[in-house]
Amino acid sequence: MRVLGIDPGLTRCGMGVVDGMVGRPLTLVDVNVLRTSSGLPVPERLVTIEKGIDAWLDEYRPDAVAVERVFARSDVSTVMGTAQASGIAMVCAARRGLPIALHTPSEVKAAVSGNGRADKAQVGAMVTRILRLDAPPKPADAADALALAITHIWRGGAQSRIDAALAAAGASTGSIPGRVRR
């Protein structure tokens, strides 16, 4: 499966595309950080982010989109822009009927490093190892977006096996396009 991971932000919005499945080596398809100037009005910045995400959805046609879950208790100075950018990311994916998953930063850190409190350097190092890259993706938003995609593939794999087992038992909970799988 192919997953687009999005680390939402108004100033820097990380996007990473990863191909793969549980139990096989994962592959980096592309990674980028959308940047918008803090000197521009917020509506213009959000439209730039929407266009950037739409362009990647068109180009890479992922099977699912993983977005970092934003909390109100995050840094107050950036949380509103982050929430707005995450809303745009979800709408871009939902308009296309793609499955959307929200993963918390702790879930992502735990998935890639085994430690829910891992720091940026550890996450970057693990993403580099998992995707067999020559160097950690820079800036951190790029590594975070890839870590989200990796997390989704690994968690989604487990979820798929649970779904299959339930379906075999006659109680399907198959994923529904546009639904958030927690």
Determine whether the annotation assigns residue 59 to a binding site: no
Cα–Cα distance measured from residue 16 to residue 50, given in angstroms and rounded to the nearest whole number: 15
Whether residue 139 has a cis bond before it, omega within 30° of 0? yes
Token digits of residue 135: 């160097």
141 catalytic residue (yes or no): yes
Cα–Cα nearest to 162, from 179, 177, 175: 175
39 binds a second copy (CB under 8 A): no
At residue 58's C-alpha, the angle toward residues 101 and 125, to 5°, is: 55
Using rule CB under 8 A, residue 179 touches a second copy: yes
Print the binding letters for residues 123-162 with a second copy: x by CB under 8 A, - otherwise.
----------------------------------------
Is 141 among the annotated ligand-binding positions?
Answer: yes
Three-point CA angle 57, 61, 65, nearest 5° = 65
Interacting residue with a second copy among 1, 22, 46, 125 (CB under 8 A): 46
Those residues whose C-beta lies under 8 Å from the C-beta of residue 22, and which sit 6 or more positions away, are: 153, 154, 157, 158
With CB under 8 A as the contact rule, the residue among 15, 33, 70, 150 that binds a second copy is 70
The least CB distance from residue 71 to a second copy, in Å, is 8
Catalytic residue annotation: 7, 68, 141
**Residues that bind a second copy in the complex, under the rule CB under 8 A:** 41-44, 46-47, 50, 70-73, 76-77, 79-80, 83-88, 90-91, 93-95, 100, 178-180
